Amino acid sequence: MSTLPVIGFVGTGKMGLPMTRNLLAAGYTVVAFNRSPESLAEAASAGATAATSLADVAAQADIILSSLTNQQSVRDVYLGNGGLIDNARPGQVLIDTSTNDIALMREIAELAVAKSASFLDSPVSGGVPGAVAASLTVMVGGDESVYNQVLPVLQVIGGNVHHLGPSGAGTAMKLVNQLLCGVNMAAVAEGLLFGASAGASPQKILEVISTSFGGSRMLDRGIPLIIERDFKPATPVDLIRKDLGIVMDAARDSGLPLGVTSAAFDLYDRTSNDGFGPNDMTAIVIPLEDGAGIKIS
């Protein structure tokens, strides 16, 4: 009978904790680490072994997944002194599920190979509900043989797992997704504002457009939240702002003009500066309403 690999999980926060729980439910031993004692305690109460450091995780785990909040956290965890690359062991597989810069993912992959380990950039889409339901879309870049090796683990956290090519390919696909989500939500907010100014009912806009060519998942998700003024943080403004910022930086580096994305980024940036950064991305409608003197309800 084959023995399941020991899984390390770094970053047991909103996304990481449900992924950890799903791995535990599938029978894996999980060694968890988080800088937040409260988050680590939650993972331990779910059945994970609490590690004392990144080195402790690396010493025990065959496969290490991470779910981190920003690129600086990824740099610290992977490239910092005493981080996962410093402590990587031959044959170990490192997998990051965060949204990052493509160049950073390739840098980590090269350093992992130098330690005779492997790294897969594997960002996910589906948010906390997808993490809880294990229905995340997982977009993987890296060596295909390594991908095949860890596929059973990825299938525990995601219902839609895709190998997309060499290092950076998974991240490139996630950035396309974030670009479309951010731009689409900005268009939904403007469409609602335009409709409201012309006397159209927001409820009727949802009913009619959701079955028309202008419909989208972001429209179906966003309009009810805007109508209900439900801006509790699910996918925060600041998260989309961060991801669109990564897209814009990469576009500038390659000389690629992204005018529509730039305009959407400016709206998220303005919304964040107005104090709504922690709120759900649908809160971008608020500065639009303020500017037009119209409130959608």
217-257: per-residue pLDDT in tens? 999 999 999 999 999 988 999 999 999 999 999 999 999 99
Q: Which of 14, 115, 174, 204 is catalytic?
A: 174
State yes or no: pLDDT of 1 exceeds 60.
no
Instruction: Summarize the confidence of residues 43-66 as an average pLDDT.
Output: 97
CB atoms within 10 A of CB 118: 24
Instruction: Summarize the confidence of residues 136-150 as an average pLDDT.
Output: 98
Q: What is the pLDDT of residue 56?
A: 97
Query: Where do the domains of the chain lie?
Result: 7-166, 173-292
pLDDT band at 168 (very low <50, low <70, confident <90, very high): very high
CATH 1.10.1040.10 fits 173-292, yes or no: yes
- Identical fold, 7-166 and 173-292: no
Residue 174 known to be catalytic: yes
pLDDT tens per residue across span 185-201: 999 999 999 999 999 99
Residues 6+ apart with CB under 8 A from 75: 104
Q: What is the pLDDT of residue 234?
A: 87
Q: Which fold has domain 7-166?
A: Rossmann fold (3.40.50)
pLDDT tens per residue across span 197-218: 999 999 999 999 999 999 999 9
The length of the chain in residues reads 297
Cα 195-236-266 angle, rounded to 5 deg: 60
Q: Could you tell me what percent of the chain has a pLDDT over 70?
A: 99
Residue 83 and residue 57 in contact, taking contact as beta carbons nearer than 8 Å: no
- Mean pLDDT over all residues of the chain? 96
